[in-house]
């Protein structure tokens, strides 16, 4: 079975670097190919990297509170760029203020994300979801 | 005396340079027309005869040549994403000394194939996808290339998973598979493709009509002229080791500008990445340590209108002190009469302004840029391209500039500009002028006698650009 490729990065002008390096390590250990774009990644960079590497999923991290704004339109751009149906995950600190996570999750799903994760999600939870979505076991 | 002959078969002129290995002196230079249509040896013999008129008869112990005749090494490249593999393919070709006639990204169309056929390149570089990455694009493009009516060698340097399949699709053509120009995302791996391009250049282009007859006159056609130039620049920057183990020092990181009639070439030898400790994040493909860019729309005669377009007539008028209407008139005239050289104060002033505009434009395109980001805990910077601000040496060469006066002033158009502070150009530098026009020749010689080539360059490059 060919390895699945994940493109990973922190979107927008966000410089929180620690989370993605942990995720990078965890995804590699779980047997994925990871293209880690690091911090301050634009939507275009996520898309270009996914095209060139034939990626199976884009993993968006956002910590600094502007995630929703930064993520807007990403799914549409993926469709436009020929990445139809690519898996889109988002996580980090995407809850701002006192909103319920389920509410936030819905907003991201409405934007075309397949899954959204609350703060403090264990990497293993995400890995299990990936395996499920890729029909791996 | 141990004379060596260095030959540069240019598109118009065949230039010869003689050096003495014993004294490490430049014996002389000369030139004649390039005679590729008949026998390239004729122009060479004529140039050598002219040289020997000045130096007396010379018994050359070796003859080495580089060439950009017959259009140079004309290449077309294709990749997938414009800023990724397509850019890597372009870098690989430029670094191999090619003249790029087209860069395609994504899937080739039937119209593209018609254009490629019309251009009939010397080599096509086919890339796309990281190893294990996207396959569809390069496979599609191989299928499309297979429909080309013209014949040319194809170098495949894309996703290795499908390299063989691509080669099969191109059966019947000369095909070479080399390592991917971008094996992993963001990693630039251009050397294997460049080595192959050079090998094909030597074999195929040099065997072309007009060259074979000169074979007996020269020991080796080593490389395309721009590669010779790159080797000279690397040697000049880095220095080399003498046979006795001592070090012949170079002059350090440098920028070289070569303003021609049709194009302006810029070379930089430096790392150019953000320095550690700065809160600057680098984005985009890593930059080659020796980088070459070619501006096809910027040149002193054939591409004179490109300079005007890039900097504006106002800039040229202001620098030359010539009214705009008159500038336009003179520029039109020079664009039509490309052989004209300045003869009076007015045309000299115009060439001064044009050359400044050419350098300003070409170096700005070569240099990296910073972008400022306001984050909630202050300003952060994002760098794309090479940071040239710490470069302290600028080399000026090219037929259009080495005879100019005020070369130092012209070269200062390459400097960092407070009006455009995020363009990462050198803050200050010494200006060296290649008055005797020997850099390509020294690049050639460096393959055999690096120490000698370096010492001759250090002697012959003049810091006299500041004289009015
Ligand atoms: C260190 C830090 C910084 C450092 C970052 C240094 C660096 N280069 O990494 C500095 C000082 C630069 C910084 C700046 C800012 N920070 Co700060 N920072 C933190 C802090 C204390 C720790 C972050 C961290 O490294 N955590 C450790 C890692 C391992 O955890 P993680 O990042 O959460 O990642 C894990 C999970 O979230 C998850 N995950 C992350 N991404 C993804 C993506 C996917 C797809 C999935 C599935 C999972 C996932 O997996 C990771 C591994 O387990 C947090 C508070 C906190 N305790 O979380 C605030 C915090 C993130 N920062 C915050 C803020 C507001 C800022 C600033 C805007 C202003 C400020 N007050 O300083 C600036 C923004 C600068 C910018 N442009 O990005 C807020 C964000 C609030 C919000 N989102 O509503 C936080 C939560 C603090 C707070 N409580 O106010 N910060």
pLDDT at A69 > cutoff 60: yes
Question: What's the average model confidence in pLDDT over A100-126?
Answer: 93
Ligand 1 centroid–CA A10 distance in Å is 10
A66 contacts in chain B (CB < 8 Å): none
Whole-angstrom Cα distance, residue B394 to residue B417? 16
Give the nearest partner residue to A53 out of B130, B375, B376, using CB atoms: B130
For B56-104, the DSSP string reads -----SEEEEEE--TTSSEEEEE-SSTTTHHHHHHHHHHHTTPEEEEEE
Whole-angstrom Cα distance, residue B95 to residue B157? 15
pLDDT of residue B373: 77
Structure token digits, residue B365 = 């395109």
Q: Give the start-to-end residue ranges of the domains of chain A.
A: 5-133
Q: Do A13 and B380 touch (CB under 8 A)?
A: yes
A12 lines ligand 1 (CB under 6 A): no
pLDDT of residue B102: 94
Closest chain A C-alpha to B210 CA, distance in angstroms: 42
pLDDT of residue B284: 83
pLDDT of residue B218: 67
Structure token digits, residue B416 = 């960092």
β pairing state of A5-10 and A57-62: parallel
Residue pLDDT, tens place only, B276-313: 666 788 888 889 999 999 998 999 999 999 999 999 99
Which is nearest to B388 in space by CA: B359, B364, B408, B407?
A: B364
Phi-psi region of B342 (alpha: psi -120 to 50; beta: other; left: phi over 0): beta
Confidence of residue A89 (pLDDT cuts 50, 70, 90): very high
pLDDT of residue B42: 87
- Residue ranges of E strands in B214-261: 220-224, 239-241, 247-249, 254-259
pLDDT of residue B375: 66
pLDDT at B410 > cutoff 50: yes
Whole-angstrom Cα distance, residue B391 to residue B257? 13
pLDDT of residue A96: 72
Q: Do B132 and A13 touch (CB under 8 A)?
A: no
pLDDT of residue B209: 53
Question: Is-contact B18 B55, C-beta < 8 A?
Answer: yes
Whole-angstrom Cα distance, residue B63 to residue B221? 9
Give the nearest partner residue to A39 out of B80, B129, B281, using CB atoms: B281
Residue pLDDT, tens place only, B147-206: 999 999 999 999 999 999 999 999 999 999 999 999 998 889 999 999 999 889 878 766
Q: Average pLDDT, whole number, for chain B? A: 90
Q: Do A53 and B185 touch (CB under 8 A)?
A: yes
pLDDT of residue A65: 87
pLDDT of residue B403: 67
Q: Which of residues 44-83 of A touch B (CB under 8 A)?
A: 45, 48-49, 51-55, 64
Contacts with B266 (C-beta within 8 Å, 6 or more apart), sequence order: B255, B256, B257, B258, B292, B293, B295, B362, B363, B365, B366
Whole-angstrom Cα distance, residue B227 to residue B66? 9
Question: In the CATH scheme, what is the homologous superfamily, with its name and number, of domain B3-70+211-218?
Answer: ATPase, nucleotide binding domain (3.30.420.40)
Residue pLDDT, tens place only, B326-385: 999 999 999 999 888 888 999 999 999 999 999 999 999 999 999 887 766 677 788 999
CATH of domain A5-133: 3.40.50.280
pLDDT at B468 > cutoff 50: no
Q: Tell me phi and psi for residue B303, to 5 degrees.
A: -110, 30
Whole-angstrom Cα distance, residue B221 to residue B213? 13
Residue nearest to atom 5 of ligand 1 (CA): A16
A15 contacts in chain B (CB < 8 Å): 281, 375, 380
Contacts with A9 (C-beta within 8 Å, 6 or more apart), sequence order: A20, A36, A37, A38, A39, A41, A45, A46, A49, A59, A60, A61
Q: Give the start-to-end residue ranges of the domains of chain B.
A: 3-70+211-218, 73-204, 254-297+368-464
ipTM: 0.80
Which is nearest to A23 in space by CA: A70, A62, A72, A59?
A: A59
Which residues of A are marked as active site?
14, 16
Q: Is A11 on the interface with B (CB under 8 A)?
A: no
Disruptive mutation site among A3, A14, A52, A64 for chain B (greatest number of B CBs within 10 Å): A52
Q: What is the pTM of this model?
A: 0.84
CATH of domain B73-204: 3.40.50.2300
């Amino acid at each position: 079975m060919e390895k699945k490729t994940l493109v990973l990065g922190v979107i927008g002008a966000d410089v929180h670097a620690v989370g993605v390096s942990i995720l990078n390590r965890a995804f590699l250990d779980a047997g994925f190919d990871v293209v880690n774009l690091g911090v301050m990644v634009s939507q275009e960079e996520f898309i270009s990297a996914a095209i060139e590497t034939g990626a199976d999923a884009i993993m968006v991290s956002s910590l600094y509170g502007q995630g929703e704004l930064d993520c807007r339109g990403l799914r549409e751009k993926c469709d436009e760029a020929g990445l139809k149906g690519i898996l889109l995950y988002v996580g980090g600190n995407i809850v701002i203020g006192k909103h319920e996570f389920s509410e936030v999750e819905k907003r991201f799903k409405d934007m075309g994300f397949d899954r959204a994760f609350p703060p403090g999600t264990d990497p293993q939870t995400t890995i299990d979801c990936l395996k499920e979505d890729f029909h791996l076991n | 005396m141990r004379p060596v002959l260095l030959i540069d078969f240019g598109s118009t002129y065949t230039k010869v340079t003689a050096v003495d290995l014993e004294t490490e002196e430049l014996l002389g230079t000369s030139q004649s027309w390039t005679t590729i249509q008949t026998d390239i040896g004729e122009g060479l013999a004529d140039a050598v005869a002219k040289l020997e008129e000045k130096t007396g008869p010379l018994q050359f112990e070796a003859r080495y040549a580089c060439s950009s005749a017959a259009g140079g090494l004309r290449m077309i490249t294709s990749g997938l994403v414009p800023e990724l593999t397509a850019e890597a393919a372009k870098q690989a070709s430029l670094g191999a000394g090619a003249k790029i006639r087209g860069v395609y990204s994504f899937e080739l169309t039937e119209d593209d194939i018609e254009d490629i056929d019309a251009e009939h390149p010397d080599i096509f570089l086919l890339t796309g996808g990281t190893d294990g990455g996207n396959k569809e694009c390069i496979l599609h493009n191989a299928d499309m290339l297979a429909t080309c009516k013209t014949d040319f060698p194809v170098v495949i340097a894309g996703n290795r998973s499908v390299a063989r399949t691509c080669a099969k699709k191109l059966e019947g053509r000369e095909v070479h598979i080399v390592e991917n120009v971008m094996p992993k995302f963001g990693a630039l791996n251009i050397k294997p493709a460049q080595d192959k391009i050079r090998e094909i250049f030597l074999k195929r282009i040099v065997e072309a009509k007009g060259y074979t007859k000169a074979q007996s006159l020269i020991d080796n056609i080593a490389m395309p002229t721009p590669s010779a130039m790159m080797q000279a620049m690397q040697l000049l920057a880095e220095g080399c080791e003498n046979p006795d183990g001592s070090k012949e020092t170079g002059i350090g990181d440098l920028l070289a500008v070569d303003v021609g009639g049709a194009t302006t070439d810029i070379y930089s030898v430096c790392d150019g990445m953000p320095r550690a400790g700065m809160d600057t994040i680098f984005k985009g493909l890593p930059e080659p340590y020796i980088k070459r860019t070619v501006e096809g729309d910027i040149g002193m005669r054939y591409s004179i209108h490109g300079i005007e377009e890039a900097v504006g007539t106002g800039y040229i008028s202001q620098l030359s002190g010539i009214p705009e209407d008159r500038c336009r008139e003179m520029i039109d005239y020079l664009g039509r009469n490309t052989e004209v050289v300045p003869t009076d104060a007015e045309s000299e002033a115009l060439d001064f302004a044009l050359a400044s505009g050419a350098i300003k434009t070409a170096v700005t395109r070569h240099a990296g840029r910073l972008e400022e980001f306001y984050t909630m805990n202050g300003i952060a910077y994002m760098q794309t391209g090479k940071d040239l601000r710490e470069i302290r040496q600028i080399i000026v060469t090219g037929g259009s500039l080495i005879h100019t006066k005020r070369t130092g002033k012209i070269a200062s158009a390459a400097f960092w500009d407070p009006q455009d502070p995020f363009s990462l150009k050198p803050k200050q530098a010494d200006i060296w002028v290649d008055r005797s026009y020997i850099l390509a020749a020294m690049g050639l010689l460096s393959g055999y006698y690096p120490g000698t080539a370096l010492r001759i360059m250090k002697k012959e490059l003049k810091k006299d650009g500041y004289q009015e």
